[in-house]
Amino acid sequence: MGQEAPQAFGAGAPEAGAASTARADDSVRGPRFDAPVAQGGYSWWYVDALSDDGRNGITIIALIGSVFSPYYAEMRRRGGGDPLQHVSLNVAVYGEGKRWAMTERFGDAVQRDKSWLEIGPSSLEWDGDCLTIRIDEIAVPIPKRLRGTVRVHPTALHDKSYQLDSAGRHHWGPIAPCARVEVELEKPSVRWSGSGYLDSNRGDEPLEAAFKRWDWSRAALKRGAAVLYDVTGRDGAGPVLGLRFDPAGGVEPFEAPPFIKLPSTLWRVERGTRGDPQGGARVVETLEDTPFYARSVLETNLLGETATAMHESLCLDRFSARWVQRLLPFRIPRALR
């Protein structure tokens, strides 16, 4: 453990794509909410967790420059695209009290500094040891309150970021690949704890400008976690990152195992992962099935272990299709402020 993770592209000068590294001082360890976001670009902070009994789950994504917003996409087509005018907190509750919310808000609903991000009535606060997420949203398509607190306790922090594209415009930072998460919701009335994960992505252009699709997963291992990032770029190039994280903060690259095709979703979104050939992988449950995106729970075999994985498949050609853009406002309402 503790080896350097592989570069995503190339091995030469920075413009050739060397993996970038966050500054090493403690003031930037953990989520950093005040970093500038390029015109037409994005930053997001992502949390997922599954309960210890396997019955419940949650994902939370705080977005500046909401990458799946039809309103932001339209502004970019017109030559604009201020990311601070397109912000949202996406919350999906799985299992008991299932709900989904993603209200987009304007810039006057955003307050942020290094350790604090407020989006409308919801907020994220990092105290150096714990990320506290206070949720106050309205679910769709049936309006229901979604309110409560989620706390993410990393076992260790990872301070490197990894380049996802050949031009060096998109980066992924696995902030806390190993974490414990406490979920205390008032509406719906749900309380549980389990293993979780925290990362961040940032880009200087829209996702669809650089990528055709990707499959991503994080698997909870007996000791630590393994992350697979399988990217197909517009230029045909793309890394297949395989990283194993131990709970103390060490990271070790591993050669990504063979590709395993998974069943497509009802919306015909293709899914795939990588796993040990002797064990394979299967979809346990499809949590989200949309025209361009799927989130699933897998039972997989990876690094000699049978593990449960949170998995996502994203098709950006589908996202860009006009018929999909017309459907999105029904799932992503826009608030007045």
pLDDT of residue 64: 98
Confidence class of residue 7 from pLDDT cuts 50, 70 and 90?
A: very low
Give the list of residues 6+ apart from residue 256 with CB closer than 8 angstroms, or none.
228, 230, 240, 241, 242, 274
pLDDT of residue 236: 86
pLDDT of residue 28: 60
Length of the chain: 337
Task: State yes or no: pLDDT of 265 exceeds 90.
Answer: yes
Most confident listed range (6-10, 158-162, 283-287):
283-287
Domain made up of 38-330: CATH architecture: Beta Barrel (2.40)
Task: State yes or no: pLDDT of 258 exceeds 60.
Answer: yes
pLDDT of residue 242: 97
Confidence class of residue 135 from pLDDT cuts 50, 70 and 90?
A: very high
Mean pLDDT estimate for the chain = 91
Task: State yes or no: pLDDT of 19 exceeds 50.
Answer: no
My answer on whether omega of the bond before 141 falls inside 30° of 0, hence cis, is yes
pLDDT of residue 234: 95
Tell me what the mean pLDDT of segment 75-102 comes to. Answer: 96
Percent of the chain at pLDDT exceeding 70: 91
Task: State yes or no: pLDDT of 102 exceeds 70.
Answer: yes
Confidence class of residue 244 from pLDDT cuts 50, 70 and 90?
A: very high
- Measured from the Cβ of residue 325, the count of other Cβ atoms closer than 10 Å reads 17
Q: How is residue 188 written in tokens?
A: 């719906």
Confidence class of residue 17 from pLDDT cuts 50, 70 and 90?
A: very low
Residue 84 burial class via C-beta count within 10 angstroms: exposed 0-12, middle 13-18, buried 19 and up: middle
Confidence class of residue 15 from pLDDT cuts 50, 70 and 90?
A: very low
- Nearest Cα to 182, choosing from 90, 49, 309? 49
Long-range contacts of 238-244 (CB under 8 A, 24+ apart): 238/164, 238/165, 238/211, 238/214, 239/8, 239/9, 239/162, 239/163, 239/164, 240/274, 241/5, 241/6, 241/8, 241/162, 242/274, 243/5, 243/174, 243/177, 244/1, 244/303
Confidence class of residue 8 from pLDDT cuts 50, 70 and 90?
A: very low
Give the list of residues 6+ apart from residue 60 with CB closer than 8 angstroms, or none.
46, 47, 48, 89, 90, 91, 92, 133, 135, 150
Q: How is residue 190 written in tokens?
A: 């749900």
pLDDT of residue 58: 98
Task: State yes or no: pLDDT of 169 exceeds 50.
Answer: yes
Tell me what the mean pLDDT of segment 83-110 comes to. Answer: 97
Tell me what the mean pLDDT of segment 132-142 comes to. Answer: 97
pLDDT of residue 27: 52
pLDDT of residue 3: 38
My answer on whether omega of the bond before 206 falls inside 30° of 0, hence cis, is no
Confidence class of residue 215 from pLDDT cuts 50, 70 and 90?
A: very high
Strand partners, 302: 305
Give the list of residues 6+ apart from residue 3 with CB closer than 8 angstroms, or none.
251, 252, 253
